[in-house]
Chain A
Amino acid sequence: MEELVPIIALGGFVALFGTAIVVVTSLIGPKPKQNDVKDEAYECGIPGQFSGHSKVPVKYYLTAILFILFDIEIIFMYPWAVTFGDSITEGYGLQFLAAMGVFIFIFIFGLFWEVKSKALEWE
């Protein structure tokens, strides 16, 4: 917990700094005048047909799901990479390499599956 103190302190300081900038500039600048045209979304000038919160293409959800899967797989490689050197000096490096080989094989299989099922095709 001791390690977290400076991180939280800096995060709080930066958040306060940012909030202060936003508040102070909103106090200093000229006050906004209400105007229907100004309140329109910044587009082409023709009155908008839809509000900004439009539909999100499903492609982005798919990308996010695939990202989570692969990112977790990559995170599992980190502890392995850190301990790999020690495992060699202690004499069981080959087992470590083989275990990771199986894992990476599954990773590559997943990547091929993903490409083959056209999950990554963007029109």
Chain B
Amino acid sequence: MGSDLVEVLINSVKLVLIFLLMVQLVPILVWVERRGSAFIQNRYGPNRVGPFGLMQLLADAVKFVFKEEFVPGKGHKLIFYAAPVVALIPGALAFAAIPLANTFHLEPFMFLGESWGPYDINFQGYNVGIGIVFILGVSSLGAYALLLAGWGSANKYSLYGALRAVAQMISYELALGLSIVGAILVYNTFDFHSIIAQQAGALSFTISGRELGIPFLPNWGIFYQPLGAFLFLVAAFAETNRLPFDLPEAESELIAGFHTEYGGMKMLMFYLGEYGHMLVASALLVTFYFGGYQLPFVSHVMIEDMLKSFGLGINMANVLTAFLFFTVFMIKCLIFLWIYVWVRWTLPRFRYDQLMDLGWKTMLPWALANTIVTAVVVFLARI
């Protein structure tokens, strides 16, 4: 975790802050969802508590805390309590592995009367070499939380909701995993920093030794893998059990799916897990296909130099640049999170057999075709 005390401290604080960032984003997202759905359906939504109803979620949270503790009579107590805790873990572990801003350099500085540094600090929880494989592996553990909740509740509707959710998640995981293979063929690496670095500058191809460029477009993955990006987005909707794929929560047949018996803070923790999953999916989409934390055509060195020319110190300039790129990354993520809300109130729900057919018989073959075509094109272009 670090070579000396300050580095260990920085890394630990970073881990906790990234987790809290995810947790704190959820109330805002719920607010955006409620206000956004109201906007789309031509009504007001929560607008009484605080400005624009922003305090509504704080009021809800306070009420959640004071809810009565309840376990269904036939339920398995330990499993019932463990499920919401397990639901939190995969999203948090996966989100911490995604770089949120550029790696910045800290020159030696004075702290507690001693000189510390120099450090190179990654703006991410931890840098795992296998990047995307780690995230796919960890985030698919989310299925266990749903199964535990369904089994522990001892309610048929919970169990059926959980089974449906898990069957749907694992079916779409195939398409999700396969749609990434095309992008990996283009980037030739699992490492996020390298993937983002390859998306810098203007769009330029190298076809059999000749350089072709389109100067007004950024060099983003979406222009290399449009079908892969679309398949990834659709599979991510299904992975997070959102409309139009929210069969696990089909109210008309299953009450509320796997969290039927849950209330108060425990239900909120399932929400934290679900929104964390959405955040991870959006962050992956941004990292793979939309240039990650980078501003198009602007590198972090340029901004650092500009800030230094205003008379800021080196450390200050580097930290400010990292925070600027972090803001860019969050804005890109929030755009995709808004698309989640938008789609939810636009498309109707599928039937279950249609959903499974779409996953296995449409998305999987298309993702496979995308992989084959990408491999052949990469081979012909680089030979």
* A-to-B contact residues, CB < 8 Å: 3, 5-7, 9-11, 13-15, 17-19, 21-22, 24-26, 28-32, 36, 38-43, 50-54, 56-57, 59-60, 63-64, 67, 70-71, 74-75, 77-78, 81-86, 88-89, 93-94, 97, 100, 104, 107-108, 111, 114-115, 120-123
Q: Which residues of chain A come closer than 8 Å to B189, judged between CB atoms?
A: 82
Contact: A120 with B92, CB < 8 Å? no
Cα distance A54–B72 in the bound complex, in angstroms: 16
B contact residues around A100 at 8 Å (CB): 375
Contacts of A43 in B (CB 8 A): 155-157, 255
B19 within 8 A of A: yes
The answer to whether A9 touches B12 (Cβ under 8 A) is yes
Q: Which B residues are CB-close (under 8 A) to A10?
A: 15, 19, 92-93, 96, 125-126
Q: Are A22 and B153 in contact (CB under 8 A)?
A: no
Specify which chain B residues have a CB less than 8 angstroms from the CB of A30 in the assembled complex.
66, 68
Check A41 against B72 for contact (C-beta < 8 Å): yes
B382 proximal to A (CB < 8 A): yes
Tell me the minimal C-beta distance from A28 to chain B in angstroms: 6
- Point out the residues of chain B lying under 8 angstroms from A63, CB to CB: 167, 170-171, 356
B170: min CB distance to chain A, Å: 4
Q: Contact between A77 and B68 (Cβ–Cβ < 8 Å)?
A: no
* Known contacts A43-B157, A67-B174, A70-B174, then 9 further A-B pairs from the complex at CB < 8 Å, ordered by chain A residue: A14-B19, A14-B89, A43-B156, A51-B74, A52-B155, A71-B173, A77-B371, A85-B185, A111-B360
User: Within 8 Å of chain A (Cβ to Cβ): is B368?
Assistant: yes
Bound CA span A3–B122, Å = 14
Interface of B is mostly: helix
B70 touches A32 (CB 8 A): yes
- Write out the residue numbers on chain B whose beta carbons fall within 8 Å of the beta carbon of A89: 382
Check A6–B11 contact: CB distance below 8 A.
Answer: yes
Distance in Å from the Cβ of A30 to the closest Cβ of chain B? 5
Interface residues of B in 327-383 (CB under 8 A from A): 352-353, 356-357, 360-361, 364-365, 368, 371-372, 375-376, 378-379, 382-383
CA distance A103 to B79 in the complex (A): 41
Residues of B within 8 A of A67 (CB): 170-171, 173-174
B129 at the interface (CB under 8 A from A): yes
| Contact of A6 with B74 in the complex, beta carbons under 8 Å | no
A-B contact pairs, 30 of them (CB 8 A): A10-B19, A10-B92, A10-B126, A15-B85, A18-B89, A19-B85, A21-B265, A22-B81, A22-B85, A22-B265, A29-B66, A29-B67, A29-B69, A32-B70, A41-B157, A42-B155, A42-B157, A42-B260, A52-B154, A52-B158, A67-B170, A70-B174, A77-B181, A85-B378, A85-B382, A88-B378, A94-B379, A115-B361, A120-B356, A120-B360
Q: Which residue of B lies closest to A9 (CB)?
A: B15
Residues of the A chain whose Cβ atoms lie less than 8 Å from the Cβ of B157: 41-43
Q: Chain A interface mostly helix, strand, loop or mixed?
A: helix
Question: Which chain A residue lies CB-closest to B170?
Answer: A67
Q: Are B159 and A53 in contact, with the CB atoms below 8 A?
A: yes
Q: Is B304 an interface residue (CB 8 A)?
A: no
- In the bound assembly, the distance between CA atoms of A106 and B178 in angstroms comes to 15
Given A14-B89, A18-B84, A25–B159 Cβ distance below 8 Å?
no
> Given the complex of chains A and B, what is the CA–CA distance between A42 and B300 in angstroms?
55
Contact of A85 with B269 at beta-carbon distance under 8 Å, contacts A5-B1, A15-B89, A54-B156 already known: no
- Tell me whether B264 is interfacial, beta carbon within 8 Å: yes
Chain A residues with Cβ below 8 Å from B171 are 63, 67
- How many angstroms from the CA of A36 to the CA of B72 in the assembled complex? 10
| Known A22-B265, A60-B163, A74-B177: A50·B352 in contact at CB below 8 Å | no
| CB pair A54 B85 closer than 8 Å | no
B151 interface residue, CB < 8 Å from A? yes
- A54: contacting residue among B73, B159, B352, B361, CB under 8 A: B159
Alpha-carbon separation in the docked complex, A26 to B264 (Å): 10
Interface residues of B in 210-267 (CB under 8 A from A): 255, 260-261, 264-266
Residues of A with C-beta under 8 A to B352: 122
